[in-house]
Each structure stands twice: as C-alpha cells, then as structure tokens.
Amino acid sequence: MNQIAPTAKIEIIPPSAPFSEAQRSWLNGFFAGLLTTDGAVALSAEQGAAMLQRAAGDGDDGAAPWHDQTLPIAERMKLAEGRPLRRRMMAAMAQQDCGQCGYNCSDYSDAIADRGEARLNLCVPGGKETARMLKSLYEELDKAAKETPAAGGSAVALSAITTEPGRSRDNPVEATFVSRHRLNKPGSEKETWHIEFDLSTAGLDYVVGDSFGIVAKNDLGLVDQIIALIGASHTIQVRNKTLREVLIEDVSLSPAPDSLFELFSYLTGGKQRERARALAQGGDPDGDAATLDVMAVLQKFSNVRPHPESFVEALEPLQPRLYSIFSSHTATPGKLSLTVDCVRYVVGKRKRLGLASIFLAERINPGDGLKVYVQHSSGFALPQDPRTPIVMIGPGTGIAPFRAFLLERRATGAPGKNWLFFGHQRSDCDFFYKDELNAMKTSGLLTRLSLAWSRDGVKKFYVQDRMREVGRELWTWIADGAHIYICGDAKRMAKDVEAALVDIVAQHGARSTAEAISFVADLKKKGRFQQDVY
Ligand SMILES: Cc1cc2nc3c(=O)[nH]c(=O)nc-3n(C[C@H](O)[C@H](O)[C@H](O)COP(=O)(O)OP(=O)(O)OC[C@H]3O[C@@H](n4cnc5c(N)ncnc54)[C@H](O)[C@@H]3O)c2cc1C
Ligand SMILES: NC(=O)c1ccc[n+]([C@@H]2O[C@H](COP(=O)([O-])OP(=O)(O)OC[C@H]3O[C@@H](n4cnc5c(N)ncnc54)[C@H](OP(=O)(O)O)[C@@H]3O)[C@@H](O)[C@H]2O)c1
C-alpha cells in the first residue's frame, strides 16, 4: 500500500507548469489531500479542470463585496455580475459565514461549483430564494458542462465538512439535555431560556467561540394534523419508518418547498393547478406565499390528497440549528450551555412555533438524549495573546459567547482587560445573568460593564448609544490593540453597531469618515474585529 507520511511533501504539479510558486504549492497540497491510499487521485475530469482553471485565475479578484447579510439577494447578485459562476453562487447565499450549512459561504459555493456538494438547499438564512438562485446557477453549470466535452465524469465528494463524529451536521452524536430555566422575569415581552447539556457520554469538547448544532424534532401535534390532512395512517411505512417517524425526524415542515407546489400542480387541475405552478416558480398568486408552511399548503389545497411517499419525497430534509456556546469547556469540562430566544408568532389564526427554540424550550425533558454537534468557528475566537484587551458587544442572546470568553479568560488566568456592552429591552426583567455579571465586575474579571436598556425610557436606547457616550475611552482601548467582537442580531443591530464604531474611530481617532471606514475594514482583515451574528 502506498501510504503517505503526514509530513511528506507531495509534488504533483511539476515546476514547469504555468503557475506561481504559491499556486503550485496550493495545488500540490490540494491534490495530495485527494490521494487515495493506493496513490490514485480521486478527482473527476471536471473537478480537475475547475481546480486548474481557478488556480490559473478565473477572472476573480478574491474580493466579495456581496458578502453582507444586510443586502437583499437582487443587490448581491448585481454586485457579482460578470464574476465566475462559483462567486455568483456565493453571492446567492445569505452571506454571513454563519456555518449552518457546515461550510463558510465561499467553501459551500466552491463545493457546489466543483460538484462535490449536490445539496442546494443548505443555506438557512437565504431560505427558498437562495435555493432557487442556486438551482438556476447550477443549470448554467450543467449547460457549460454539456458545451465542454472535458466536463463530464462522476463527481466525488470534495466536501470541506469533516466526518469526525460530533464535528459536523452530517455526523451528529448524542448528548443529554440536563435542564432549562427562563431568563426573563415577569413583565418581559421576551421568552429566553438558559439551557444546559451534558457532553460526557458524547466525548465532545469545544473551544469558546464555537457554535452548538442541535438536531431538533418536529412537534408530534403538528405532524399528526398533517397526517390527518393527507388522509393517511400514521403507521404506513415510508423510507423504512412509519410516516409519523419520518415527519417527526427527517423532513422540514416549514417553509413549504417549491417541490411540494410542483407535486400539487400534478395532483390538481384548472385554477388550482395554475396557482400551484405559480407558487412552484416563486410566484405569489394569492399574496400569501411567504407564510405557507407545509400545513398551510395542505389547508390551501384542501382537496389534494398526496400519496404519503410522494408527499415525503417533495419535502426538504430537516436542518439542524446553531447556537452560540455560552460555556467554556476549560472551565466546566463535559458541560455546555446556551441562551436561546424562542420563536413564536401568529399567522391568521394559527400559532407558528420555531422548530429548535421551542423544542429546547418545551418539548425535550431533562435526561433525554438528542443529536448534536460542535460547529467550529474559524473566525470568532479569543485573541491568541492573553494580554490583548477585548471589547464585546452582545445585546440579548448576543451575551452567550462573551460569557464563555470571560470564563475561559478566568480559567486560563489571561491578564487582558475585558469590556462588555450588554443590553436588552428592560432592566428589571431582561437583565440576564445579572448577579454573575455584577460579580465578574466586582472581581475585576470584567474591567468594564456598559449596559443599555431599549425600553426603560421613552426613547429607544441601544448598545451603540452607550458606545458613543464612552467613545473616547473606547477609542483608547482600540488604539491599545483591543479586539472587538459583536454577537446577536445580524440584520439591524450588527450593522448599526459597526456604523457607531466607524463614527467613534472618526471622531476620537481624528479621521475622516472614509478613513474611519477603511480603518474598521482593516481591523476586520487583521482579525481584530469579529462577528458572530444571526
Ligand atoms: C452561528 C449562529 C449562532 C446562533 N446563536 C444563537 C443563540 O445563541 N441564541 C439564539 O436564540 N439563536 C441563535 N441563533 C439562531 C438559531 O440558530 C435559530 O435560527 C433560532 O433559534 C430560530 O430557530 P427555530 O428553529 O426555533 O425557528 P425556525 O423554525 O427556524 O423559525 C424561524 C423562522 O421563522 C420565521 N419567523 C420568525 N419570526 C417571525 C415573525 N414574527 N413573522 C413571520 N415569520 C417569522 C422566519 O422565517 C425565521 O427565519 C444562531 C444562529 C447562528 C447561525
Ligand atoms: N434567524 C432566525 O431565525 C432568528 C431567530 C431568532 C432570533 N433571530 C434574530 O436574533 C435576534 C436575537 O434576539 P435576541 O433575543 O437576542 O434579542 P433582540 O431581539 O435582538 O433584542 C436585543 C436588544 O437589541 C435591541 N435592538 C433592536 N434593534 C437594535 C439595533 N438596530 N441596534 C441595537 N440594538 C437593537 C432590542 O431593542 P428593541 O427590541 O426594544 O428594539 C433589545 O434591547 C432577533 O432580533 C432576531 O433578529 C433570528
């Protein structure tokens, strides 16, 4: 057998090949990673061509201006116009490197373009609109492949997803749910839970900054209502399980996928067929497309009774959900905790429940096992140098990774200064972990604790308002090399906090707005400004 020593340098690309030294070294590493144990390269002609083309330069400058979760998809696609297909695929993603698909955005798009990843529906923040755009870009890929004879051959997995148990969404392990308690006091408009798990039987560890993947199950009540609507028996066998088991464990019941509308368009006629077809193509014939989960579709097309097997086939796989880890494995080995905000809302007369948040808040019991994994975060971590000061901005559930950072710094005796900006709606009922944070302040672990309560006064007051108030001191910390972190809401908070940071740099760092923007961009590039937003 042709075993390769881990340190052996593999030379596959000859020095005469038309690549720079860096490209050649990268390609050698890439191909070495694909060598099978008998030394054969497990790469299709198409993948090889794609990799070579990319290494030789495919007209892409590496910048990704569309990598911004606050931009709508149409704008992101516009920014990617004229770029290689893989980059347009990246622009279709909802762009936060959130990790829910198991990749970062650029690796996921590369894997699709290289045909190492066939699942086009993994981008949770992008939902259906990202899946639709990826499908249409994938068709372009197919068309290009047909026009280029070399582009054929069977695809093999080029997945950047590790197969180590408990380290990826594709290979979860069992952990034990230990407890939950509500963090908000009476009078709060929020429902947020502190959740504890025991990882000892799973043998999992993690580092602070990582996220925890939860494989939740659908609600039995909802599943049984759906089974009644399709008029089937819950014990009928589908995919070697009962229909009820498949609907609880394997498929997503919200939102309704295009494939379900397609199925319904075959099973009905006349106006109903037209409406189902329009919905399958991303149309909105009745103005309710955004609210249609699987049950709402069955109610809308109430005369359609799909066969259980084709019904299940038309649904999307159930996706895991990620949560920022609130604990430190160094401080409390084998234990892991989260801060989870519940998703509950009403559409028409029906209450809609978030899958994983409600599973954790009310459907799992202490002692129960559940499938989990640790999603390692490569871009959200404590500074390597324990003396580096850190500024953490995390309103609401955004507190989670920062409590973990603080515990880690205490457990490792890190001498760096720590400043936390926390806030929420009301100080009397939404001050999570008040005693613990105050104790950290008293002990000196928290050098500064700055709070902002949005609904205590007549006017909204947010963390970025507090930051502006103490802008001079904040600038001093930044000038002294502090790393800055944001965690929490992606759509509004993170963007507004970043804008405040730019203002503070401009005002107290004596820079123009353009210079301040590029200063903050540079902090990001150097890894001194990191975000874990969702
Ligand atoms: C890296 C990362 C870290 C995260 N960390 C945390 C964390 O620490 N704590 C935390 O609570 N969450 C966190 N999240 C979010 C979390 O992963 C889930 O997205 C969240 O809990 C909702 O999941 P769910 O399954 O309960 O809801 P879902 O079943 O996914 O439902 C949510 C969906 O419901 C719809 N929806 C929600 N509200 C409304 C409304 N009012 N009207 C209409 N539609 C609505 C939206 O389409 C929304 O996407 C994190 C996400 C990422 C990517
Ligand atoms: N992707 C998902 O499915 C999903 C699921 C759950 C949560 N989320 C997001 O994650 C967030 C997490 O919720 P959470 O419970 O942690 O808290 P949150 O709802 O984000 O609220 C935390 C605090 O931030 C304030 N806030 C609102 N807008 C802000 C802004 N532009 N700048 C700064 N602060 C702002 C809130 O004030 P006010 O409320 O008084 O304005 C509140 O005081 C949700 O808002 C939601 O956007 C996403």
Contacts of residue 215, defined as CB under 8 A and 6 or more positions apart, other chains included, come to 169, 172, 318, 320, 370, 371, 372, 373
Q: Closest ligand to 169 CA?
A: 1
Q: Is 155 helix (H, G, I), strand (E, B) or coil?
A: coil
How many angstroms does the Cα of residue 380 sit away from the middle of ligand 2? 20
Q: What angle do CA 41, 46, 50 make, to 5 degrees?
A: 95
Residue 303, sorted as left (phi over 0), alpha (psi -120 to 50) or beta, turns out to be: alpha
Q: Whose CA is nearest to atom 49 of ligand 1?
A: 125
**Which amino acid residue places its CA nearest to atom 10 of ligand 1?**
340
Q: What separation in Å is there between the alpha carbon of 354 and the centre of ligand 1?
A: 7
531 C-alpha vs ligand 2 centroid, how far in Å? 15
Q: Is the CB of 534 under 6 A from ligand 1?
A: yes
Nearest CA to ligand 1 atom 29: 354
Amino acid at residue number 357 = S
pTM of the model: 0.88
Which tokens is 73 given? 């998809």
Q: Are β-strands 448-453 and 418-424 bridged in parallel, bridged antiparallel, or unpaired? A: parallel
Ligand 2 pocket test, candidate residues 214, 340, 341, most atoms within 8 A of CB: 341
279 by DSSP, 3-state: which? helix
pLDDT in tens, the chain (534 residues): 333 333 344 555 555 555 556 555 555 555 555 444 444 445 555 555 555 556 555 667 778 899 888 899 999 999 999 999 999 999 999 988 899 999 999 999 999 999 999 999 999 899 999 999 999 999 998 887 777 654 444 343 444 567 899 999 999 999 999 999 999 999 999 999 999 999 999 999 999 999 999 999 999 999 999 999 999 999 999 999 999 999 999 999 999 999 999 999 999 999 999 999 999 999 999 999 999 999 999 999 999 999 999 999 999 999 999 999 999 999 999 999 999 999 999 999 999 999 999 999 999 999 999 999 999 998 999 999 999 999 999 999 999 999 999 999 999 999 999 999 999 999 999 999 999 999 999 999 999 999 999 999 999 999 999 999 999 999 999 999 999 999 999 999 999 999 999 999 999 999 999 999 999 999 999 999 999 999
Please tell me if the CB atom of residue 339 comes closer than 6 angstroms to any atom of ligand 1.
Answer: yes
| 98 CB within 6 A, ligand 1 | yes
**Ligand 2 mean position to 156 CA, how many Å?**
41
Question: Ligand 1: distance of its center to the CA of 340 in Å?
Answer: 9
Instruction: Tell me if the bond preceding 320 is cis, omega within 30° of 0.
Output: no
